Amino acid sequence: MAVASPNSLRVAAAQMTSVSDLAANFATCSRLVKEAASAGAKLLCFPEAFSYVGTKDGDSVSVAQPLDGPIMNQYCSLARESSIWLSLGGFQEKGSDPTHLCNTHVIVDETGKIRSSYRKIHLFDVDVPGGRVYKESKFTEPGKDIVAVDSPIGRLGLSVCYDLRFPEMYQLLRFQHEAQVLLVPSAFTKVTGAAHWEILLRARAIETQCYVIAAAQTGKHGDKRESYGDTLIIDPWGTIVGRLPDRLSTGIVVADIDLSLVDSVREKMPIDKQRMPIDFWKAASL
Ligand SMILES: O=C(O)CNC(=O)[C@H](CS)NC(=O)CCC(=O)C(=O)O
């Protein structure tokens, strides 16, 4: 078993190709949890839609369950059995009416208890150039709250996939909610991922001076959908410290997080003190 050095906190991020079969995806996740635990990771992050990817738009509404339902309970047991924290990004949570779900990022601790959950705020209603048209809002209700939560690897700022394109949310996670590690579980499209994925993630890490952990779906989910992959772990200076390239399908990548690097980057480049208050910009734009 690998042993992490004394100051560092070992984390893992998973890459997988989820399909429209809850049991098959659970078996994959279960294997990856065991791998991460034996590598000494304290937290394993899964990608958006880890437990289910439908074959057509809106399919996932039919598998939506509340957070205290049997599917999430199973994943909580995995955390408890391997004594590891889990980031379960993009769970199909039952919505407030039968035609909608919430795309919910759930944080489970090593005893299997749900510590926090965040509902995706920015929905992917996009006509992908050279790709297809997505309309996530047709079957998803957006969240309203920004969420950060303490964990053994620092204060986690929660988000999901398309949120990545809206930097003001990450500014709030860093400067109002004091996040140290940003989690961005994703299922990026092949086209947009190739153009934007790495550069957006590194930009978020640099401008917030946070670690970023971005677990990704990869490969073909049936014959309609294909995800970009390239799971990344990035440090607060913007350096990539862990990567699972797109050509590698299912697996985990492990990295050691050092929170003193967060402190030293922030101390040497004190953007928290140098940035202008929102009132300055309101006046400046008159
Ligand atoms: O619905 C599911 O099964 C899982 N969810 C997704 O695939 C979501 C909503 S359709 N995808 C994205 O947000 C892609 C973002 C993206 O690719 C970009 O910002 O470029």
Distance in Å, CA 25 to ligand 1 centroid = 18
ipTM (interface pTM): 0.95
Whether 53 lines ligand 1, by a CB cut-off of 6 Å, is yes
Asked if the structure places residue 281 within a domain, the reply is no
pLDDT score for 28: 98
Query: What residue's CA is closest to ligand 1, atom 11?
Result: 187
Going by C-alpha positions, the residue among 143, 78, 142, 163 that lies closest to residue 114 is 78
Residue 59: inside a domain, yes or no? yes
Instruction: Kindly give the distance from the C-alpha atom of residue 272 to the centroid of ligand 1, in angstroms, as a whole number.
Output: 31
- H helix intervals, 22-139: 22-38, 70-82
> Does the CB atom of residue 161 touch ligand 1 within 6 A?
yes
Look up the domain containing 31 and give its range: 10-273
* 3-class SS string, 137-193: HHCECCCCCCCEEEECCEEEEECCHHHHHCHHHHHHHHHCCCCCEEECCECCEHHHH
pLDDT at 278: 85
Q: Rg of the chain's alpha carbons, rounded to an integer?
A: 18
- Name 8's Cβ contacts closer than 8 Å, sequence gap at least 6: 256, 257, 258
Residues 6+ apart with CB under 8 A from 255: 10, 11, 12, 13, 233, 241, 242
Residue nearest to atom 14 of ligand 1 (CA): 188
pLDDT of residue 55: 86
Question: Which pair of structure tokens corresponds to residue 126?
Answer: 């996009």
The pLDDT of residue 2 is: 52
Amino acid 65: pLDDT = 98
Is ligand 1 within 6 A of the CB of residue 217? no
Asked if residue 263 is part of any domain, the answer here is: yes
How many angstroms separate the alpha carbon of residue 186 from the centre of ligand 1? 7
Q: In angstroms, what is the span from residue 17 Cα to ligand 1's centroid? A: 14
In a domain, 5, yes or no: no
Q: End-to-end CA distance of the chain: give it in Å, rounded.
A: 60
The total of structural domains in the chain comes to 1
163 domain residue, yes or no: yes
**Residue 139, ligand 1, Cβ within 6 A:** no
- Predicted structure pTM score: 0.96
Which segments in the chain show pLDDT lower than 50?
Answer: 1, 4
209 is a domain residue:
yes
50 ligand 1 Cβ < 6 A: no
279 occurs within a structural domain = no
Q: Which residues are catalytic?
A: 48, 120, 161
We report the CATH number of the domain holding residue 215 as: 3.60.110.10
Q: Is residue 197 assigned to a domain?
A: yes
| The pLDDT value given to residue 15 | 98
The whole-number pLDDT of residue 8 equals 78
- Check pocket membership of 140 for ligand 1, CB cut-off 6 A: no
Shortest-distance atom of ligand 1 to CA 52: 3
